[in-house]
Structure 1
């Protein structure tokens, strides 16, 4: 739980459209439509360690959150920090609307290969990776077996390609789709 809270804190700080923290009130946008109890604990700890700083956390639904954050930034009134998706970080960084963050080599080693590419551009990190969509592969075992293959989930892209090719070559169905 401590690691999750620390990671969330770093994420919130890193993904932010970072305004200097010397301000008395920091406007925070939390994409996802809710501010959870764990978020409140991290915010309270941050406020306690930064005398005079109040975090005004605003929960905004995912459907409008990135647009709101981008619009405010483009208008010259960026939020102090934000928990947003990584899709816009490169654009925000290239536009000078966010500050880069430092991720130590020790912390970098904790991520799977390629994950840090989602938050990096131009040799800089623009946020901390946090949540990723889960992908699922559904296999029609009857079709795979009709193609002469065992219905076993492939563990590599080559294995997936070979399974799809077998279905395509040995049945009237497409290999994928």
Structure 2
């Protein structure tokens, strides 16, 4: 995701699903789709999901064949860019970002493609995040939010009777865990893998974020500086974040330590549930603590479907996407890969199903979630800069105000029209 949401296995496999052609030998339209793999092995690759969806679609639409290439998250965004740059854009791409292609006028608008019913079914938070200049080009395909995970056994050992709701309670719990020799009382992954995610979660819990109310970058706001001052002085400076400096700790390593029972608390997304359960970790999940109580907003992440104009096929693409976003397909994908549904109809059904209770805990935060500013073409550069620099804000001798001000200056430059 922009890294955003769970990493797939590097399978790099292509599967061609050919239809039978339309009756009487009439012309068949072939659509090409490049999609990210949300699986972790050949056993649960996204190929199996797309195989099922496309077979069902082609059975009902004999004049349209769909050829899908499934690639790992390590490769898919770069591969689509390579195809577009070579003048060989796919009809559809399900990847991490859409804004650059929209700004270059290479995409259909969502209104060009979807039926009114399907378009209106997207969750409003996600629809809004798919817009550039108030026109929607990105169709949300998968989403997730974040919660604070905690190890119940370690909490019991440390005499902690309830999950923290405030920063002070989180600090006190971390101190008690440290006293019990827990390796990572609170794991703070500000390493280059996904530091922009951990950063946004903390900025939101401090009452601000990456942008202001009109969408301009405000990384060095007073609230953001206060948040990182607290992290530096009250968590890192007190030795409550473990043996690896936050600037060097990546999310994957923090997750692995949690599933090994070495972490008291950390922020996590839905796929961590399955990994922790497989390792026998007894864990709980609560909303991110804020300064004086539960944070006002949670962090949300979405991955995107987009349709390229290069080959035409507007009507055929629309027919296929209307089918893809049918409630049963959205629910199937969400349940297979521990993701949150992107449509109102699927979210309502999930919320009413006891079997989905764990995912519903994350779903509750989605309506008020704040996403990365993915509608900005500058976001990729700003995100990369955050990954590279933000960890230095909490090092010994580091100055959060200086680091955040430098990030703000870089963001303002990146946001200027070329």
Q: Deviations over 1:76-122 (max 9, x none)?
A: 2100112222xx211111111221113757414xx2x6333432221
Partners of 1:129 and 1:83 in 2: CA distance = 9
Partners of 1:116 and 1:174 in 2: CA distance = 39
Cα pair distance change 1:132/1:77, threshold 3 Å: same
Cα pair distance change 1:47/1:127, threshold 3 Å: farther
Matched-pair contact (CA < 8 Å) for 1:34–1:60: no
Partner of 1:35: 47
Aligned-pair distance for 1:65?
0.7
In the alignment, is residue 116 of structure 1 matched against residue 127 of structure 2?
Answer: yes
In the alignment, is residue 91 of structure 1 matched against residue 93 of structure 2?
Answer: no
Partners of 2:168 and 2:144 in 1: CA distance = 25
Cα pair distance change 1:172/1:151, threshold 3 Å: farther
Matching of residues 17-166 of structure 1 within 5 Å: 24-32=29-37, 34-36=46-48, 38-85=49-96, 88-102=97-111, 104=116, 106-108=120-122, 111=123, 114-133=125-144, 135-138=146-149, 151-154=162-165, 159=166, 161-163=167-169
Cα pair distance change 1:106/1:79, threshold 3 Å: closer
TM-score (norm 2): 0.28
Cα pair distance change 1:70/1:137, threshold 3 Å: same
SS at structure 1 position matched to 2:140 = coil
Q: Deviations over 1:9-63 (max 9, x none)?
A: xxxxxxxxxxxxx973222112116411x42232134334444322111111111
Cα pair distance change 1:141/1:41, threshold 3 Å: closer
SS at structure 2 position matched to 1:116 = helix
SS at structure 2 position matched to 1:35 = helix
Matched-pair contact (CA < 8 Å) for 2:109–2:135: yes
Instruction: Name structure 1 gaps, 5 residues minimum.
Output: 1-21
Instruction: Name structure 2 gaps, 5 residues minimum.
Output: 1-26, 38-44, 176-233, 247-418
The total of aligned residue pairs comes to 141
Partners of 2:76 and 2:67 in 1: CA distance = 16
Higher mean alpha-carbon deviation, 133-142 vs 58-67, is at 133-142
The two structures, once aligned, show a CA RMSD in angstroms of 3.8
Cα pair distance change 1:141/1:34, threshold 3 Å: closer
Aligned-pair distance for 1:64?
0.4
Cα pair distance change 1:163/1:117, threshold 3 Å: farther
TM-score (norm 1): 0.59
SS at structure 1 position matched to 2:98 = helix
Partners of 1:153 and 1:164 in 2: CA distance = 5
SS at structure 2 position matched to 1:137 = strand
